């Protein structure tokens, strides 16, 4: 039997604790969300994040921009938000349409970077001094921990295309004693590499990409893919993995809800960091 890892239940527990903490504050944390273009998926993600934030008591301001907005315009808005004491977190919904992602993300003050993508936050994680860790990396680790399996002598593989995405996950797994590597889809003998891993995290952006013959029977599989097939949202893991692998985080209901929950905790953490910095 495959153990299905329920991200919704875990996320609800995290959000409940966050809401309790926020109700005890004199003023709520503030989150600014920047949305560029008309991508339906991005609009949906922003709506879900906005609703979840408001539900736990976070103040939200949303700024929508046309697809042809310049990088400089986005940076100017971010600089304004950096200076506001009532805005504690800044989130730029990715992917951007044509703007320079690195320039835009680097413009966010590290203490307000609730997605954890700023170079200083990535460097801090690698130096074992993290402040704001990417919510998706925290989500993946939480799902792996939910299996309650010993990770001693385990190895991991991330099937994906982005080193920026993989880097914090690799670091968190390394801290847990799990050596992990990023394997791109065009890697020679890719299936042989994934079959040798105890933990497989798949994020290639192709529905049903990961097949049963690509993983060992007892593997932990974490699906991070988001694909539209007809009217359904599906992951990168083939549905037939259920019944084959040891533990499986499915889409929807796995990484997604947890990522939103950890984003909210990052907003609260960012607020605490900024208040501490101002009092020093």
Verify that 152 and 238 share a domain, yes or no: yes
pLDDT of residue 239: 95
Give domain status of residue 241, yes or no. Answer: yes
Dihedral sign for Cα 130, 131, 132, 135, please: positive
Verify that 174 and 248 share a domain, yes or no: yes
CATH of the domain at 155: 3.40.50.720
Verify that 148 and 251 share a domain, yes or no: yes
Residue 244, domain extent:
135-255
Q: pLDDT (tens digit, 0 to 9) for every residue of the chain, 280 residues total?
A: 899 999 999 999 999 999 999 999 999 999 999 999 998 888 989 999 999 999 999 999 999 999 999 999 999 999 999 999 999 999 999 989 999 999 999 999 999 999 999 999 999 998 888 889 999 999 999 999 999 999 999 999 999 988 889 999 999 999 999 999 999 988 989 999 999 999 999 999 999 999 999 999 999 999 999 888 888 989 999 999 999 999 999 999 999 999 999 999 999 999 999 998 888 7
Q: d(Cα 33, Cα 187) in Å, to the nearest integer? A: 36
Verify that 176 and 244 share a domain, yes or no: yes
Length of the chain: 280
Verify that 156 and 204 share a domain, yes or no: yes
Which pair of tokens denotes residue 122? 């990535």
pLDDT of residue 73: 98
User: 118: helix, coil or strand?
Assistant: coil
Verify that 162 and 79 share a domain, yes or no: no
Rg (CA), the chain: 19
For 266, residues 6+ apart whose C-beta sits below 8 A from its C-beta are: 89, 114, 115, 116, 132, 133, 135
pLDDT of residue 226: 87
Verify that 98 and 184 share a domain, yes or no: no
Verify that 167 and 250 share a domain, yes or no: yes
pLDDT of residue 25: 95
Q: d(Cα 253, Cα 172) in Å, to the nearest integer? A: 22
Query: Looking at the DSSP assignment, which residues form a beta bridge with residue 90?
Result: 32, 113
Verify that 104 and 181 share a domain, yes or no: no
pLDDT of residue 35: 97
pLDDT of residue 44: 87
Verify that 90 and 169 share a domain, yes or no: no
Give domain status of residue 88, yes or no. Answer: yes
The beta strands (E) that lie in the chain are given as 3-4, 30-36, 59-65, 89-92, 156-160, 180-183, 199-203, 220-223, 227-229, 232-234, 247-249
Q: d(Cα 71, Cα 61) in Å, to the nearest integer? A: 20
Give domain status of residue 153, yes or no. Answer: yes
| Backbone dihedral angles phi then psi of residue 269, each to the nearest 5 degrees | -65, -40
Give domain status of residue 224, yes or no. Answer: yes
Give domain status of residue 218, yes or no. Answer: yes
Q: d(Cα 150, Cα 23) in Å, to the nearest integer? A: 37
For 28, residues 6+ apart whose C-beta sits below 8 A from its C-beta are: 22, 57, 58, 59
Verify that 168 and 220 share a domain, yes or no: yes
Give domain status of residue 16, yes or no. Answer: no
Give domain status of residue 99, yes or no. Answer: yes
CATH of the domain at 51: 3.40.50.10860
Whether the upstream peptide bond of residue 49 has omega within 30° of 0, thus cis, is: no
Alpha helices in 109-158 (DSSP H): 119-126, 135-146
Verify that 147 and 217 share a domain, yes or no: yes
Give domain status of residue 96, yes or no. Answer: yes
Report the number of distinct structural domains present in the chain. 2
């Amino acid at each position: 039997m495959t153990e299905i890892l329920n991200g919704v239940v875990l996320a609800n527990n995290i959000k409940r604790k966050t809401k309790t903490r926020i109700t005890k504050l004199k003023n709520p944390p503030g989150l600014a969300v920047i949305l560029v273009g008309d991508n339906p998926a991005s609009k949906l993600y922003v709506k879900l994040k906005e609703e979840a934030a408001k539900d736990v008591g976070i103040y939200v301001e949303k700024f929508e921009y046309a697809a042809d907005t310049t990088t400089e315009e986005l940076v100017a808005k971010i600089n304004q938000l950096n200076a506001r004491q009532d805005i504690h977190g800044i989130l730029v919904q990715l992917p951007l349409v044509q703007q320079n992602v690195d320039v835009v993300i680097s413009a966010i003050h590290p203490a307000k970077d609730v997605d954890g993508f700023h170079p200083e936050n990535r460097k801090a994680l690698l130096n074992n001094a993290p402040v704001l860790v990417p919510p998706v990396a925290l989500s993946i680790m939480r799902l792996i921990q939910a299996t309650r399996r010993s990770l001693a002598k385990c190895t991991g593989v991330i099937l994906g295309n982005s080193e920026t995405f993989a880097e914090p996950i690799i670091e968190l797994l390394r801290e847990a004693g799990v050596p992990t590597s990023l394997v791109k889809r065009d890697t020679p003998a890719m299936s042989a590499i994934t079959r040798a891993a105890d933990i497989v995290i798949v994020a290639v952006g192709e529905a049903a990409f990961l097949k049963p013959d690509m993983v060992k029977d007892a593997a932990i599989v974490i699906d991070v893919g988001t694909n539209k097939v007809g009217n359904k949202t599906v992951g990168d893991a083939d549905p037939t993995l259920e019944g084959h692998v040891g533990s499986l985080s499915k889409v929807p209901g796995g990484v997604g809800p947890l990522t939103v929950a950890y984003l909210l905790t990052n907003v609260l953490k960012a607020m605490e960091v900024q208040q501490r910095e101002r009092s020093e």
